[in-house]
Structure 1
């Protein structure tokens, strides 16, 4: 009866330690590519590995990926986190390991610290990044060390980060302005923009796109400035109340960020059902607001498509620095079935 080869036999043939063989066969990091090749060849030659097992292990190890998402009351980002965690529960050695963490949304130092901390385990990090010097600095450091840093939803530091995955946000802002202007059907008055924060480039780009198309096509609609609600439903509620009270001629609101339910609450309390309301992110709350007529349109990027594209952008073999996700526009009449 043939004797089953042992890991010791593989180590002796490859002339490496038993610990090195263990690291290679379990696809752990920290082993040079040449040594990996020697160990796998020895394992095949000694019969420790079958041809199929050898082929599986010889493929490049899938990257360890961490998603860093902002915490808070933004339902769309919560939905995005659910999608990532569902994938994380399904991953195997062949598909790689995925982890997801929620961090302080508007704190660049917290994001920089999280990037540095999670890079100890991760080969790639996908994050909704703040466009801030502290974040750019640590990103440059990680990319220099061979890590991939992929921005999702909101871009930052194109000269530094590895790739961006998300909407063309200036186009999204222009689309929101076009919809709002057309829905106003020749009315005159003021329009307001509520954003999460200008520290997110996505919100700045959406605001710029909105303002520029308003000036081009709808001069009878006058923007009244931008409020920052930090994607918090209670802040958005207070801002919306203030805007409605200060501008009785307000005919429309564009929420360039998240947590639209706070704005909807203010509209209901002031009895302003005629006010056109455009927002982002199809989630259970915005779906409900479309159905009851409080919101008129929702601009969306499919979370499954965004997560899948981000994972591909995290792979070392990924090409291209910008991966634009298809923009969907949902009205009450074309909502997808759940």
Structure 2
């Protein structure tokens, strides 16, 4: 028993419950690998010692709902930050029967970091939803984690069909074609240059959108010339510098499609150069893209509702027999903003 007036420690619980410190840690943090009988005993002792209250003990000790980890790329991409905020909001509102959620941000575009995060998360999680990087290291980690019985689903960007991992997101090739149609039609010119900005081709979502865009432009607007794709790594500063260079180098620039995020850097450059004549289409309805639509700097924004995305991902992890269909792409213009 702890000395009078001192907060009990995990070691006090372990001693009185006659279990290891590691077992107590697993129970209070809802990790796997503890029998229901031991779990109940540890929680009873923790409650009696005053380490946790009645309500928290009931919450932790309820029939164990799934532990789910959401892995997202770190950085300044406003849509991914919004997605992380949505996950954290669900954590705060979760009931006893809801899955336990964790949200971790991993170094962007780093396949080794993502593979390591998948393996580490598998120690706690029953299911993992992750923004995938299509890379052999990530595929190997996903196969290893799945073999341990952990459920997996990719969100926004997938691992490709041969990885065998369910995916929740848009049909990105179709989205890219739609973006090409919008840019070609809205430009109102049969000739000129169009530019692509991506986060990275390491994300299959970005490469699929690029391929769709290119196929549509070649098919319907063959006299529009594509200038080389710039990788801005979903960083507003990089996107800003790329756009300034494009404006300096391409006097006939008529359109830009940002297949990734952080469109704020592009809109900043367009505003500074007073180039609202350039058609600009991007992704993710966030505060910055909403403002750009309203002032006419952006023409259209593709969006996938973050709450629906999370709903579908969690449903797939809790009911893996259900195979998700592609999400519906919302397209916002100034006149239909919600």
Larger CA deviation: 290-299 vs 184-193: 184-193
- Counterparts in 2 of 1:158-177, with a 5 A limit? 158-177=161-180
1:104 corresponds to which of 104, 107, 129? 107
Q: Provide Cα deviations, 1:48-72, integer angstroms capped at 9, x if missing partner.
A: xxxxxxxx99x97421000111111
8 Å contact from structure 1 (residues 235, 262) kept in 2 = yes
Q: Tell me whether 1:133 sits opposite 2:147 in the alignment.
A: no
Other structure's SS at 1:93 match:
coil
8 Å contact from structure 1 (residues 309, 323) kept in 2 = no
Q: Tell me whether 1:333 sits opposite 2:335 in the alignment.
A: yes
**Moved beyond 4 Å, runs of 4+:** none
Larger CA deviation: 173-182 vs 85-94: 85-94
2:228 corresponds to which of 208, 219, 225? 225
How far is the alpha carbon of 1:92 from its aligned partner?
A: 2.7
Distance 1:161 1:91 in 2: 30
2:306 corresponds to which of 294, 303, 306? 303
Q: Which residue of 2 aligns with 1:48?
A: none
Distance 1:219 1:322 in 2: 35
Structure 1 gap segments, 5+ residues each: 1-16, 40-55
Distance 1:28 1:71 in 2: 25
Distance 2:185 2:240 in 1: 25
8 Å contact from structure 2 (residues 200, 231) kept in 1 = yes
Distance 1:119 1:323 in 2: 26
Q: Which residue of 1 aligns with 2:295?
A: 292
How far is the alpha carbon of 1:272 from its aligned partner?
A: 1.3
Quote the RMSD (CA, aligned, Å).
Answer: 2.6
Q: TM-score, normalised by structure 2?
A: 0.82
- Aligned pair count reads 298
How far is the alpha carbon of 1:319 from its aligned partner?
A: 2.4
How far is the alpha carbon of 1:108 from its aligned partner?
A: 0.7
How far is the alpha carbon of 1:324 from its aligned partner?
A: 1.3
Q: Which residue of 2 aligns with 1:216?
A: 219
Q: Which residue of 1 aligns with 2:7?
A: none
Distance 1:319 1:223 in 2: 43
8 Å contact from structure 1 (residues 143, 161) kept in 2 = no
8 Å contact from structure 2 (residues 115, 138) kept in 1 = yes
Q: Tell me whether 1:246 sits opposite 2:252 in the alignment.
A: no
Distance 2:34 2:160 in 1: 32
Distance 1:60 1:140, change over 3 A: farther
How far is the alpha carbon of 1:161 from its aligned partner?
A: 4.7
Other structure's SS at 1:120 match:
coil
Q: TM-score, normalised by structure 1?
A: 0.82
Q: Which residue of 1 aligns with 2:320?
A: 318
Q: Which residue of 2 aligns with 1:183?
A: 186
Other structure's SS at 2:233 match:
coil
Q: Provide Cα deviations, 1:26-49, integer angstroms capped at 9, x if missing partner.
A: 9874367xx88xx9xxxxxxxxxx
